[in-house]
């Protein structure tokens, strides 16, 4: 009977790790050292796919023979990328810009199999924000502190109250790892799943 390959999540994100635990009982986490710089003229979906693969390849290069999962999410507000805000001021500014508008989240997952072959999928989620007052935004940012989240919200927490609707094929994609595609790619990489 063949042994299961070691699965490594190329991320230290607790959100992505929590999602992956729904599919895989045992996996390791490793911080990728890849560069997340913007490339001029790069479309948001292409950026998400490139960064997911770069993260996976960085960790796979250190652990040959393992199955490595990289993921990245890019938030797009009418062509403007909303990165992780990092500060309360930036989070407030992003949420004010998103209020009453649609933001498209491109969530990419890349699985590198034990041979080093990459398989990538990009999921698209459309989020319509409700109208938000300055007070709504201030209270939300103070309570949730979404400074490490693209678009300045946590949909798995209070952030869900900021929306009018979410349209996508995989509800886990908005949290940061599209599990429907991830399970398909892991099976293709030789990982046994139900």
Catalytic residues, by residue number, are 72
Give CA–CA dist 144/139, Å, rounded: 9
| 3-state helix/strand/coil string of 168-191 | CCCCCHHHCCCHHHHHHHHHHCCC
Residue 84: which residues within 8 A CB-CB, separation 6 or more? 147, 148, 149, 150
Q: Comparing C-alpha atoms, which of 7, 4, 33 is closest to residue 21?
A: 7
What is the enclosing helix (H) or strand (E) of 163? strand 163-167
Report residue 128 as tokens.
Answer: 């319509």
Contact (CB, 8 A) for 179 and 9:
no
Q: Which residues pair with 112 in a beta bridge?
A: 68, 118
């Amino acid at each position: 009977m063949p042994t299961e390959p070691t699965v490594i999540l190329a991320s230290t994100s607790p959100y992505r790790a929590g999602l992956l635990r729904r599919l895989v009982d045992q996996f390791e986490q490793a911080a990728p050292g890849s560069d997340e710089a913007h490339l001029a003229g790069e479309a948001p979906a292409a950026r998400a796919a490139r960064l997911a693969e770069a993260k996976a390849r960085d960790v796979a290069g250190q652990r040959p023979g393992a199955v490595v999962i990289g993921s990245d999410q890019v938030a797009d507000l009418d062509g403007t990328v909303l990165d992780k805000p990092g500060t309360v001021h930036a989070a407030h500014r992003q949420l004010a810009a998103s209020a009453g508008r649609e933001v498209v989240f491109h969530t990419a997952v890349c699985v590198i199999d034990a041979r080093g072959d990459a398989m990538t999928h990009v999921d698209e989620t459309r989020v319509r924000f409700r109208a938000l007052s300055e007070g709504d935004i201030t209270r939300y940012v103070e309570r949730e502190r979404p400074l490490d989240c693209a678009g300045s919200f946590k949909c798995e927490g209070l952030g869900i109250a900021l929306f009018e609707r979410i349209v996508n094929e995989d509800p886990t994609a908005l949290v940061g790892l599209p599990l429907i595609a991830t399970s398909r790619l892991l099976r293709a990489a030789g990982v046994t799943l139900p």
